[in-house]
Amino acid sequence: MQLTEHHFTDLSNIKYRIFSCDISDERKASALVIRFIGNYGYGSDGNGDGQFMRTITLCALSLWDVEAVVFDLRDLTYEWGNTIWGMYGRSIYPSGIDDLPYATIVSDRCRAGFESCESIVAPMFEDLDLAIENLRPRAQAYLAKLWSDDE
């Protein structure tokens, strides 16, 4: 039997960084900020990139218990490709995002590509502080719903 070794990085040249931050003192809500850096392949050339980004999101949300997610895509070049939507939970395979509130940070490198499917990535911001400010009440509502379901 011959074993073939696999690495997540075999799928993509995209790099990532993961951060967390408290976004509310009330009920101690926190957010995960997942920053993707690099060039997303055009169309089906980006399938590996999208799978990689979904997998990183799933791994991060499996490890850290948070009430919101910020996808920081300011340093990602993206024009078009459907597989990226899996990161937002829009595929057969899970990303872990489920019902978590999320926001997307964009820049000139990716804005036009994401505006074509704004209903999936909205709300979009150009600044982390604005994204967190938007998430704060939604994370509190998410926590309140979780706690009311437990009762």
pTM for the full predicted model: 0.92
Measured in whole angstroms, how far is the alpha carbon of residue 73 from the centre of its chain?
9
SS3 79: coil
Which one-letter amino acid corresponds to residue 112? A
Domain residue ranges in the chain: 9-150
Q: What is the mean pLDDT of residues 62-87?
A: 96
Q: Is the pLDDT of residue 141 over 60?
A: yes
Q: What is the pLDDT of residues 126-136, one digit of tens each?
A: 999 999 999 99
Which one-letter amino acid corresponds to residue 78? Y
Q: Is the pLDDT of residue 93 over 60?
A: yes
Confidence of residue 59 (pLDDT cuts 50, 70, 90): very high
Q: What is the mean pLDDT of residues 47-58?
A: 96
Distance from C-alpha of 151 to C-alpha of 136, rounded to nearest angstrom: 23
DSSP one-letter code for 33: E
pLDDT higher at 90 or 133: 133
Q: Is the pLDDT of residue 149 over 90?
A: no
What CATH number does domain 9-150 carry, 1.10.3720.10, 3.50.50.60, 3.30.750.24, 3.40.228.10? 3.30.750.24
